[in-house]
Amino acid sequence: NVSIIDKKKTELYQELGLQARDLRFQHVVSIATRNNRIIMRMEFLKAVITPEFLLILDYRNSSLEHWLLNELASQLAGEGQLVTYSLPFEFRAIEAILQYWISKLQGRLNSLQPQILETLEALVDPKLFSVDRSKLHILLQNGKSLSELETDVKVFKETILEILDEEEVIEELCLSKWSDPQVFEESMSGIDHAEEMELLLENYYRQAEDLLNEARELRVLIDDSESIIFINLDSHRNVMMRLNLQLTMGTFSVSLFGLIGVAFGMNLESSLEEDPRIFWLVTGIMFLGSGLIWRRLLSFLGRHLDPPLPPHVPAALKKSQPAAGRMEIKTSLKGETLGLSRSTITNQ
């Protein structure tokens, strides 16, 4: 049965036998016990569990109404995915809250993953000469959200791990074992509720670990994509710098042989200007010389920018190396065999 009540916190902690600080919840993740009560804090989800009921506090301030009204009742009844229906009520309540929280974290990852993959696919494109700043802004926001998710999963996992390391805390979480005589007799007769509680917590610890691994893989993908983006930008920058250098060399070549035209264009008298073929001869020499010098400079540039070839290994050396390796192996095996035979004789 699900019921909604409005009550002051002073009246509430008096009825529950708790202190005021126990209900002064903060946005943290913790699981603690006090006075046969379990106090669970899952950031905005704040709950108190007793052997008879589950109390969710301040649910109107968060998006919990759908879960409370449509899913929680069936989970507490042992229906659906939860399989703790044969165990006391606090087991079902703890698993319902842990299941809700891990589903919440998984939903956040499922919403971030396609956005990040789509943004990275648009950014990691070798055909692009520049990077879209709007895509980078989206990737930055998604990266921050992913970092927050990783932090929340780590805190959730460490909280469960702290409980698993303390056997006394696990015993205290089994409320019915200390309040219900029948449950206590069952635990004494062989049904260990503390072991069942440990298995329940280990299950959600493994789920949190898997979720954290998925988030880490996505983080590694983002880092690798950033490296690819920087490599593409560096490659395009190198192409532009090389083109600029080639144009500079061409300008230098034309200017160098342009001195001939400058010399002939001066107001100096000689017998060459009277020949009509001298103009075409000088012009051809200028263009031919400029082209040869530019070609020479380009070949010089190519030799210094292209990566060097690996050193050539002679064929005889390649053939001799495996043979030497086989000889060393045979020698070592022979020595080991002799050593074994000697030790066997000594033992006998």
Q: Which pLDDT score is estimated for 162?
A: 92
CB neighbours of 229 closer than 8 A, spacing ≥ 6?
123, 124, 131
Task: Quote the pTM value.
Answer: 0.66
Identify the burial level of 88 via C-beta atoms within 10 angstroms of its C-beta, where 0-12 means exposed, 13-18 middle and 19 or more buried.
buried
> Among all chains, which residue has been given the structure tokens 């009509």?
276
Q: Which pLDDT score is estimated for 334?
A: 39
Closest CA to 155 of 41, 23, 304: 41
Q: Which pLDDT score is estimated for 151?
A: 92
The three-class DSSP label of residue 50 is coil
Residues 290 and 284: their CA atoms lie apart, in Å, by 10
Residues 56 and 104: their CA atoms lie apart, in Å, by 17
Q: Which pLDDT score is estimated for 36?
A: 85
Residues 50 and 36: their CA atoms lie apart, in Å, by 7
What is the tens place of the pLDDT at every residue in 23-39?
776 778 888 888 888 99
Q: Which pLDDT score is estimated for 194?
A: 83
Q: Which amino acid is at 136?
A: L
Q: Which pLDDT score is estimated for 185?
A: 63
| Token representation of residue 40 | 């669970």
Strand order in the sheet with 29-34: 29-34, 37-42, 45-49, 54-57
Residues 34 and 173: their CA atoms lie apart, in Å, by 10
Residues 156 and 210: their CA atoms lie apart, in Å, by 13
The three-class DSSP label of residue 115 is helix
The residues pairing with 90 across neighbouring beta strands, listed in sequence order, are none
The residues pairing with 46 across neighbouring beta strands, listed in sequence order, are 41, 57
Give Cα separations from 8 to 12, 14, 23, 52, 58 (angstroms): 6, 10, 11, 21, 11
| Token representation of residue 120 | 């990275």
If one counts every other C-beta atom within 10 angstroms of the C-beta of residue 234, the result is 10
Q: Which pLDDT score is estimated for 343?
A: 37
Q: Which pLDDT score is estimated for 323?
A: 41
Q: Which pLDDT score is estimated for 303?
A: 59
Q: Which pLDDT score is estimated for 324?
A: 41
Q: State the alpha helices, DSSP H only, in the chain.
A: 9-16, 65-66, 72-76, 89-123, 133-164, 167-173, 175-179, 181-188, 193-265, 278-305, 315-347
User: DSSP secondary structure string, 190-247?
Assistant: T--HHHHHHHHHHHHHHHHHHHHHHHHHHHHHHHHHHHHHHHHHHHHHHHHHHHHHHH
Closest CA to 40 of 80, 97, 125: 97
Angle, helices 89-123 vs 193-265, to 10°: value is: 10
Residues 105 and 213: their CA atoms lie apart, in Å, by 13
Q: Which pLDDT score is estimated for 327?
A: 40
Q: Which pLDDT score is estimated for 330?
A: 39
Q: Which pLDDT score is estimated for 6?
A: 86
| Token representation of residue 229 | 């983006």
Q: How far apart are the first and last CA of the chain?
A: 80
Query: Which domains, from first to last, does the chain contain?
Result: 62-237 (1.20.58.340)
For the chain (length 348 residues), average pLDDT per consecutive 10?
A: 82 81 77 88 88 83 77 75 66 91 92 89 68 79 91 93 89 79 62 83 94 92 82 76 78 72 64 71 77 74 54 44 41 39 37
What is the tens place of the pLDDT at every residue in 246-294?
778 777 777 776 776 676 666 556 666 677 777 777 777 777 877 777 7
Closest CA to 15 of 53, 64, 46, 63: 53
Q: Which pLDDT score is estimated for 310?
A: 47
